Structure 1
């Protein structure tokens, strides 16, 4: 699941991103409301975590602009302000949930997963490709109805592949959507995780397209085609 975290407190944003990545989310950080609005309109996110007190555009303005533009990605708003009107204002502008700082991290995680579940009619609850199924909310993967244990990063890579089944995706596509748009490490890390998934799900699960990238398709069908 992809999260856009719009938060100008650098330490908090980094801490939250690290924690959320550790429980299976892919997190992109926007440091101000203007940047957050642009990325939310251009990107594909499962949920937005939006601080209210932001530079450039505050959280209220970002939320209002998104809803006016027809962007209905679930929004959880954060604030350190005290006042009985904050929550009402947030909901009136189209927010889906609200959390006051300071908060317990586990509560944030539960709230985010609940938002994704509530928005499930717009996307399949469980992704299925041949014998492989992936539950993005429950964070479970099965092959032939048997549980496959994946690390958080393996799960994120597989989720991206299954959302783009049949399409050729590049290493850059995977790095920007699973790691971070600003990732500047070794691009071969993608090959490493493709190898992990092949070992756990079958070597025909992910096809290498020379000079282009990778394609995820039904592993049983791919194996049958090779035997034909």
Structure 2
């Protein structure tokens, strides 16, 4: 549940039982939920609540889901919109995506599938909320303490993880051994600076960086990661 703490989801549907079902399920998953039954109030609530994800029904009286989608996207903040419809028609899906929707689901749908699509949108548009940060070929998942390189999870020790994370987050910057020791090993480290070389060598092997093109050594200055 802690992995989604602080993530805001707005539910928009004119069918009360659907709103209640989704609100209970997503609240139990740890999301912060607000609901509204129509398109016009959805736009007002979106401006106030600024949700990360909107689950938006298409078929509503008055301002329908298509118009609400267009208006919410024009508010100017980053938001993922997943549209719901009872119609399985290509034209509706194309129209929704053209107006700015990020995904589309056809009723009836399973809660597990909706949850998976929400997680996919969060990974795509708000990776840092899930403890994930993407830089070039690296994906850092700080909740799982994992780093993926070129879609492969690296087998790293805890210290290797912290060292590589520090270097990736500071890519393009020359990092001296003393600065690395301060940030990764902390100020009370009493060993030699050469320990950094040992860990860099191990990480290079795991990255298959034999020619040091990824982790560069700048003699007398330190190390720098260059990302494409």
**TM-score category of the 2 structures, normalised to the smaller one:** 0.5 to 0.7
Q: Does 1:103 align with 2:70?
A: no
- Partner of 2:197 in structure 1? none
Structure 1 segments of 4 or more deviating over 4 A?
A: none
Whether the aligned pair in 2 keeps the contact of 1:33 and 1:57 (CA below 8 Å) is: yes
The corresponding residue for 2:38 is 32
Q: Does residue 1:126 correspond to 2:134, yes or no?
A: no
TM-score (norm: length of structure 2): 0.53
**1:34-183 to 2 correspondences below 5 Å:** 34-120=40-126, 123=128, 125-126=130-131, 135=143
Q: Is the 8 A contact 1:66 1:72 kept in 2?
A: no
Q: Using the alignment, how far apart are the partners of 1:91 and 1:45 within structure 2? A: 19
Structure 2, unaligned stretches of length 5 or more? 1-6, 133-140, 144-157, 159-228
Distance in 1 between residues matched to 2:63 and 2:142, nearest whole Å: 37
* Bigger relative CO (Cα 8 Å, ≥ 6 apart): 1
Q: Distance in 2 between matches of 1:106 and 1:77?
A: 16
Structure 1 residue 117 displacement after superposition: 1.0
Identify the residue that residue 25 of structure 2 maps to in structure 1. 19
**Count of residues in Structure 1 that have an aligned counterpart in Structure 2:** 131
Q: For the aligned residues, what is the CA RMSD?
A: 2.3
1:126 to partner: Cα distance: 2.6
Correspondence for 2:219 = none
Tell me how far 1:72 sits from its aligned partner: 3.2
Q: Which ranges of structure 1 fall in alignment gaps of 5 or more residues?
A: 128-132, 136-144, 146-228
